[in-house]
Structure 1
Amino acid sequence: MCGIVGIFDMRQMRDIDLQQLTRMNETQHHRGPTEGGVHREAGIGFGHRRLSIIDLSSGQQPLFNEDHSVVLVFNGEIYNFVALMDELTGLGHTFRTRCDTEVIVHAWEEWGEACVQRFRGMFAFALWDRNKQTMFLARDRLGIKPMYCALLDDGMFLFGSELKALMSIPGLSRELDPHAVEDYFAYGYVPEPRTIFKGAFKLQPGYMLTLKAGAATLPAQKQYWDVPFKPHAPMSAEEAEQELIVKLRDAVQSHTVADVPLGAFLSGGVDSSAVVAMMAGMSDEPVSTCSIGFDDQAYDESEYAAEVARQYKTTHYREVVDKDDYGLIDTLARLYDEPYADSSAIPTYRVCELARKRVTVALSGDGGDENFAGYRRYRYAMAEQRVRSVLPSSLRKPVFGFLGNVYPKADWAPRMFRAKTTFEALARDLVEGYFHGVSVMPDRVRAQLFSDGFKRSLQGYSAIEVMRGHAANSPTDDPLSLIQYVDMKTWLPGDILTKVDRASMAHALEVRVPLLDHEFVEWASGVPSSLKLRGQEGKYLLKKSLEPHLSHDVLYRDKMGFSIPLASWFRGPLRERVKQALLGPTLAGTGIFNMRFLQDMVEQHQSGRRDYTAPIYTVMMFEAFLRNCLEEAPAHSLAAA
């Protein structure tokens, strides 16, 4: 696992400033503390920080082909590199190392852009082909590894594994993108391809970018893969269960190649337990597993992790974390470089910290919910869709729209009585309803949050356009599959994988996600929806297939997740911190916010009249981003327009 950076002069092929290149590279020292390197030639500069995982004695980067006409920087792992190395050797290529990095160089020479189709793994890489005067960048299919890019006004193209690398270059504008701000306050993160800055973007998962020396403009990103959602040939439930275990075992096996200590996260949930169950039979050595517990039983599921550890005789490490572990807010803001409001980043940071004490590589269970419809929100969305399917929109929209407007907000009540949100969702179509359900701040809250000037700067833009764009490109119209597809384009790369990448790399830990092996994802996408969500049971097929491997309690207990007591923090130990963040000069100076609404939100939450936990945390993390990631919080240039 590594950090990569680069500068490419698209226009004049001028010399690259060594100080700037080195500064970019060193911003990511935490991603690769083992060693670093840079390479410069006319118009091009590459930098690399390495965390050695495979072929520890060689494989230093930037890495070259035999005549040094192709140079590469690479972040990630190619799990099928041995087979590719054998194939390329048979085609006449000569290898100097036994590392996966060199495979990319020769694959480019042999297959050009099509090389990405051959790679099984997680990756973000850039290479320069001097003979073709071409720079080629690619990102893995699901977005496990990050890639940030920017084209400066002087024609210099920048890329890096983290946005902070680009921010080290003075020419990158810090002007906030109003559309990205709107997206953030809807989703809790900035979805691909935007970043929080107008002048930077993300290379999207499953996309590549080819740049030519002398080009006047930046070409469009080109997609090379998508989740197919192509139905399988008919099979019985029993056949599907058996095939799932075969596919799962293969995916896990492929992710265990390493020349350093390797282990697994074990939360006690279905997905991480499944990964550990598969790993346990692959080696004579016990699996090293790590979990964290909380000192409050309401937030602790480590007993289930301990049960799985005992069953598979793992070498298990557990640490108890204070549930009031709120000192990380500023640390997280600096790690993520742009606003990021998933509070589970706090325990994720801690479990990565624990794992790194024991191993260099850890396998996680991320991806199971997206593949097999495990989130509760899928159940709610499908229940709402059943209502939509029996009522014509001409009746449904006015009736439920009216009820949504007049029904009181009841955050304090059990979910079955929180009808306002349900009525609002039923008045919408599937995508609108799903967007409304997953938004950390629904439309009606964001309408109050923003100042009039900022709303004018949006020019009618709404964050739902992100989901609508992906839904329009969906290869399936099955309702459940469609929202799974949208999640794989938004929530998965923008929230889940971003969270794990930054938290793990902060501790120089490589995390691998076998449930997001693209061959496994392709197979899972073809499983009928009826085998993913059956009644109220999400991940139905996955759980059934795992019954011989895991206990009923592990498989069928209520999903907990990495919960932390934000609501009580904001009324107790963080009471003054909330007031300072939301009502202080940093946010007021941007011109983005309706400060009266922020004041009302704080007062109503802290008095217990309303639950504004998610909105408050989202605003707090935006304020922390402004304070920690920018030299000064910029007044939004369009806020007063």
Structure 2
Amino acid sequence: MDEPLGAPSAIPLFFVSRLAREQVKVVQSGEGADELFGGYWIYHDQFEFGKYFRVPRPLRAAAGAVAEKLPPFHGRRFAMRGSGGPEKSYQRASMNYMWDEIPNVLRDYDGPCKPWEWCKPHFDEAAKQDIDIITQTQYVDMVSYMPFDICLKADKMSMSQSLELRVPFLDKKVLDVALQLPTACRVDDEHAKYALRVAASKLGFQKKVANMPKQPFITPLTVWLQTDLYYDRIKEAFTSEAAHEFFNVDYLVQMLDDH
């Protein structure tokens, strides 16, 4: 990787690239389809938050502040994430912790933790264009998650096998089409990548293929962490000198043991 990247799907991508290189020198890949055409669950999530944002912000902020002080309950994260603007609701399910849990993990933590601040400038820039929350979120993904995670790992894992990987969804002409689509053609209550799925149906793909539910490129981390091989390696890292410098080591080990 040449640099740290918290994207476990780089691992299967590495092996898929190795397998492909046994047969071909060039492949096409689907990077960009979700960001351009509205495929991620976070867009559906923002669709729901868009309704909640009709509640006056002071009321939402108060509800979030109360939720933050209460023990876990169904809807707690929604109230906390909905207490601010779209940059706060953008916090993904892939977050390992909600911000109020950080003191348990970090040693000598003096807060406050505001993980949404990194993406707020992007949302502010998108808001100037007078676009809805879903389109704002797609824009933020296009300028952050896509180039610094999605495309990065695809590029590096394919290059590691001397495999040329091309990304047709990121062709400028495709982007121009995506930018003209109304939001309802991308995301609504029932659909993600709606226009793209309709196009696939009309191009002759079987309906079950065109309407196939989105599936992540799964890396079985939860299973690996329950084996002695990886448990021992992770525990060694969690109890290292560096870990003691930055983290509450007992808390880390307890999470690992509980898993």
Q: TM-score, normalised by structure 2?
A: 0.89
8 Å Cα contact 1:425-1:437 kept in structure 2: no
Q: CA deviation at 1:525?
A: 1.7
Matched residue type, 1:359: V
Quote the Cα distance in structure 1 between the aligned partners of 2:15 and 2:88. 35
Q: CA deviation at 1:556?
A: 1.9
Q: CA deviation at 1:440?
A: 4.0
Aligned partner of 2:81 among 422, 425, 438:
425
Quote the Cα distance in structure 2 between the aligned partners of 1:425 and 1:379. 15
Matches within 5 A, 1:148-547: 336-389=1-54, 391-408=55-72, 417=74, 419-435=75-91, 437=93, 439-452=95-108, 462-474=114-126, 475-547=129-201
Quote the Cα distance in structure 2 between the aligned partners of 1:599 and 1:526. 52
Runs of 4+ in 1 over 4 A off after TM superposition: 460-463
Question: Cα gap change, 1:350/1:601 in structure 2, threshold over 3 Å: closer, same or farther?
Answer: same
Between the two structures, name the one with larger relative contact order (CA 8 Å, sep ≥ 6). Answer: 2
Matched residue type, 1:602: V
Q: CA deviation at 1:478?
A: 1.3
8 Å Cα contact 1:345-1:499 kept in structure 2: yes
8 Å Cα contact 2:42-2:92 kept in structure 1: no
Q: CA deviation at 1:516?
A: 0.6
State the structure with more CA Rg.
Answer: 1
In structure 2, what is the equivalent of residue 575 of structure 1? Answer: 231
Q: CA deviation at 1:438?
A: 5.1
In structure 2, what is the equivalent of residue 603 of structure 1? Answer: 254
SS of the counterpart of 1:473? Answer: helix
Matched residue type, 2:162: A
Quote the Cα distance in structure 1 between the aligned partners of 2:178 and 2:134. 13
Quote the Cα distance in structure 1 between the aligned partners of 2:124 and 2:79. 25
Cα deviation digits, residues 469-512 of structure 1 (max 9, x gap)? 11222234311100000001110011101111110111111101
Quote the Cα distance in structure 1 between the aligned partners of 2:92 and 2:201. 35
Question: Cα gap change, 1:399/1:442 in structure 2, threshold over 3 Å: closer, same or farther?
Answer: closer
Quote the Cα distance in structure 2 between the aligned partners of 1:424 and 1:436. 12
8 Å Cα contact 2:38-2:186 kept in structure 1: yes
Matched residue type, 2:51: R
Quote the Cα distance in structure 2 between the aligned partners of 1:602 and 1:521. 46
- Is 1:585 equivalent to 2:241 in the alignment? yes
Name the structure with the higher helix share: 2
* Structure 2 residue ranges without an equivalent (≥5): none
Matched residue type, 2:5: Y
Matched residue type, 1:431: E
Quote the Cα distance in structure 1 between the aligned partners of 2:67 and 2:116. 22
Aligned residue pair count: 255
Q: TM-score, normalised by structure 1?
A: 0.38
Quote the Cα distance in structure 2 between the aligned partners of 1:445 and 1:604. 13
8 Å Cα contact 1:571-1:606 kept in structure 2: no
* Structure 1 residue ranges without an equivalent (≥5): 1-335, 410-416, 609-641
8 Å Cα contact 2:100-2:113 kept in structure 1: no
Sequence identity, in percent?
26
